[in-house]
Chain A
Amino acid sequence: MKKKRRTMAMVVAALSCGAMLLSGCANGTDALTIGGSSTVQPLSEVWAEAFIADSPDADISVQGGGSSAGVKGAADGILDIGAASREIKSQETSDFPDLVVYHVAADGVAVVVHPSNGTVDFTLAEMADIFAAGSNDEWTVINREEGSGTRDVFEDIVMGGARMAADAEFLPSNGAVKQKVASTENAIGYISLGYVDTSVKAVTVDGVECNDGNVVNGSYPVMRYLNYITNGEADGLASSFIEFALSPAGQEMAADEGYVRVDG
């Protein structure tokens, strides 16, 4: 009998714990879900951390999933803010006309080679030729998968309608491309400027170095905006979060993460 009562007590305790957890969830109306581009994800995480430090009630979760998932998630209401490292495509605009885009940072796409190379300079046309020709004795071409936001930028700006060769290596992330280029002597690939470090060498394009200043002033041509997307104008927590991202403090964090400020 005594044993039974103890069991009962445990069950009650467990139930009330569960109830407390549940009610905790229900009270947290300040919930915000951000997801999408893996390029934007680290930046969103930094912003989220700083934002929560200021307003501890906010419950912000940051996910990956890719730019298209970000756009779709925002449109479907699965995400409060969708993140995309590319602009909205015309088909997406026609499918989901209410989407609003906020430029929250800019990013250069650096073309990188093995660090054993000296200074390498290409014109856009020369780079297009290399990626259209594919891997050969001179270059091992490292490309990104179809649909990648970084690849979209590269194709739009560099390739000029020419097709990228199928005879190349296709890797699914900036990090993977960097690792491959760093470990392969004749490799050439392209990665987001934020990922460039000493393990690879960024080439100059028409003599212009890929760095923050040159991306902002438009002299380095291969660049894009990182976007937050909401379904309709952002309101509530989403609105204040985007405001925070665009504030001088937020933009400073973007710069620290290797992205380029959009507040001039």
Chain B
Amino acid sequence: MSRYTIDRLSSRIVFAFGVISFVILILIAGFIFRESLPALRNVGLFNILFGTEWYPRYDEYGILTMVVGSVMVTAISLAIALPLSLGTAVLLAEVASPRVRGCVRPAIELLVGIPSVVFGLVGMVALAPLIAELGGSGSGSSVLAASIVLAVMVLPTITSISEDSIRALPRTYREGALALGATHWQTIWRVMVPAARRGITAGTILGTGRAIGETMAMVMVIGNAPIFPDGLLSPARTLTGSIAVEIAAASGTHQSVLFVTGLVLFVMVMIINSASLLAYKKGAH
């Protein structure tokens, strides 16, 4: 075979791989949609999306409480994780000596590799009882416990992308700012971080995607109550957790509604990804 044949052949193969992953995505989406159909027909999308009662035994299949639960936990965990991540990213990119960096960076990266069930276990056995003690009653399974666990889980995602984007800035930014008489601190907060906002936004959106999709750890610490949480110490239920907890024992319409829940998640993640794409493009101008 001539090198040109190999060249052409390999580009075909790579193209085939690309097509395959696209086809897989379409198949998954199609499958979820097909399994959702009985529920959409029998219960109706409106009743599922905006219903507030979850009693499959009595044919009530409202998942609004879970949409609220997912959004609330995600928002609170990001509010906790974002300042922490940004601070860590600045530390790693601008402030830390190579030795400190050599310790902190691998530690953050290691966090990514810890399976979510381990986070859930620590949350269930250590964090929840602590919250129960401070909060006075209940078992501690709550929005607060879930948000804290989730914050730790998205921290490395936001940190490493933010750090990379600060680090990728041209040296001239820093040198220019310092030459104009800005202090190191002013340079970081007025020049470097704003200039890296595109990457920071992208990291945050990726973190949001991870937070919305997180399942196992949430099931273990949030209490899975299908109610509107009336505070940080109230239990709640996430969309992913609902599927994980109930799919094993579900049948018929109940099972189909869980697929609708998956469909809702699918759409939410698609919106988040589009937002990240949009943010990326906007930042590029």
A186-B136 Cα distance, complex, nearest whole Å: 11
Contacts of A38 in B (CB 8 A): 248
In-complex Cβ contact of B138 among A91, A135, A172 (8 A): A135
Given contacts A163-B55, A168-B225, A172-B244, contact A184 B251 (CB under 8 A): no
Contacts of B57 in A (CB 8 A): 146, 155
A66-B254 Cα distance, complex, nearest whole Å: 14
Does A169 contact B252, Cβ atoms closer than 8 Å? no
Given contacts A166-B226, A166-B227, A167-B227, contact A69 B248 (CB under 8 A): yes
Which residues of chain B (225-270) have a CB below 8 Å from chain A? 225-227, 235, 237, 244-246, 248-252, 254-255
Which residues of chain B (47-97) have a CB below 8 Å from chain A? 53-58, 65
Contacts of A167 in B (CB 8 A): 225, 227, 235
B144 to chain A, nearest CB (A): 14
A21-B56 Cα distance, complex, nearest whole Å: 46
Does any Cβ of A come within 8 Å of B205's Cβ? no
Does A184 contact B249, Cβ atoms closer than 8 Å? no
B43 to chain A, nearest CB (A): 14
Interface size class of A (residues with CB under 8 A): 20 to 34
A262-B141 Cα distance, complex, nearest whole Å: 39
Does A91 contact B248, Cβ atoms closer than 8 Å? no
Contacts of A92 in B (CB 8 A): 251
Does B219 contact A180, Cβ atoms closer than 8 Å? no
Does any Cβ of B come within 8 Å of A187's Cβ? yes
Given contacts A140-B137, A147-B254, A155-B57, contact A170 B223 (CB under 8 A): yes
Does B224 contact A140, Cβ atoms closer than 8 Å? no
Which residues of chain B (195-238) have a CB below 8 Å from chain A? 219, 223-227, 235, 237
Does any Cβ of B come within 8 Å of A211's Cβ? no
Does any Cβ of A come within 8 Å of B38's Cβ? no
Does any Cβ of B come within 8 Å of A82's Cβ? no
B40 to chain A, nearest CB (A): 19
Contacts of B55 in A (CB 8 A): 146, 163, 166
Interface string of B149-185 (1 = CB under 8 A from A): 0000000000000000000000000000000000000
Nearest-CB residue, chain B, relative to A163:
B55
Does B138 contact A170, Cβ atoms closer than 8 Å? no
Does any Cβ of B come within 8 Å of A103's Cβ? no
A38-B245 Cα distance, complex, nearest whole Å: 13
A149-B55 Cα distance, complex, nearest whole Å: 15
Query: Max chain A CB contacts within 10 Å: which of B56, B225, B250?
Result: B225
- Interface residues in B, total, Cβ within 8 A: 33
A34 to chain B, nearest CB (A): 16
Given contacts A140-B138, A169-B223, contact A146 B246 (CB under 8 A): yes
Does any Cβ of B come within 8 Å of A233's Cβ? no
Does any Cβ of A come within 8 Å of B139's Cβ? yes
Does B249 contact A148, Cβ atoms closer than 8 Å? yes
Does B251 contact A172, Cβ atoms closer than 8 Å? no
B254 to chain A, nearest CB (A): 6
Does any Cβ of A come within 8 Å of B279's Cβ? no
Given contacts A140-B138, A169-B235, contact A66 B248 (CB under 8 A): yes
Contacts of A135 in B (CB 8 A): 138, 225, 235
B143 to chain A, nearest CB (A): 13
Does A67 contact B249, Cβ atoms closer than 8 Å? yes
Nearest-CB residue, chain A, relative to B249:
A147
Which residues of chain A (50-72) have a CB below 8 Å from chain B? 64-69, 71-72
Does any Cβ of A come within 8 Å of B132's Cβ? yes
Given contacts A147-B246, A172-B244, A180-B139, contact A72 B225 (CB under 8 A): no
Interface string of B1-12 (1 = CB under 8 A from A): 000000000000
A4 to chain B, nearest CB (A): 20
Given contacts A72-B251, A147-B251, A163-B58, contact A169 B137 (CB under 8 A): no
A67-B250 Cα distance, complex, nearest whole Å: 9
Does any Cβ of B come within 8 Å of A171's Cβ? yes
Given contacts A65-B248, A147-B251, contact A166 B138 (CB under 8 A): no
Nearest-CB residue, chain B, relative to A135:
B138
Does A184 contact B227, Cβ atoms closer than 8 Å? no
A186-B53 Cα distance, complex, nearest whole Å: 26
Given contacts A135-B138, A170-B237, A172-B219, contact A149 B249 (CB under 8 A): yes
Which B residues are closer than 8 A to A by beta carbons? 53-58, 65, 125, 129, 132, 137-141, 219, 223-227, 235, 237, 244-246, 248-252, 254-255
Minimum-distance CB pairs A-B, first 7: A147-B249, A66-B248, A170-B224, A68-B251, A184-B139, A66-B249, A169-B223
Q: List 11 A-B contacts (CB under 8 A).
A: A69-B248, A146-B56, A147-B250, A167-B235, A169-B141, A169-B235, A170-B225, A170-B237, A171-B245, A172-B224, A183-B129
If A163-B55, A168-B235 are given as contacts, then 18 extra A-B residue pairs at C-beta distance below 8 Å, sorted by A number, are: A38-B248, A91-B252, A135-B235, A140-B137, A146-B55, A146-B57, A146-B250, A167-B235, A169-B139, A169-B223, A170-B226, A171-B245, A172-B244, A172-B245, A172-B248, A180-B139, A184-B139, A186-B137
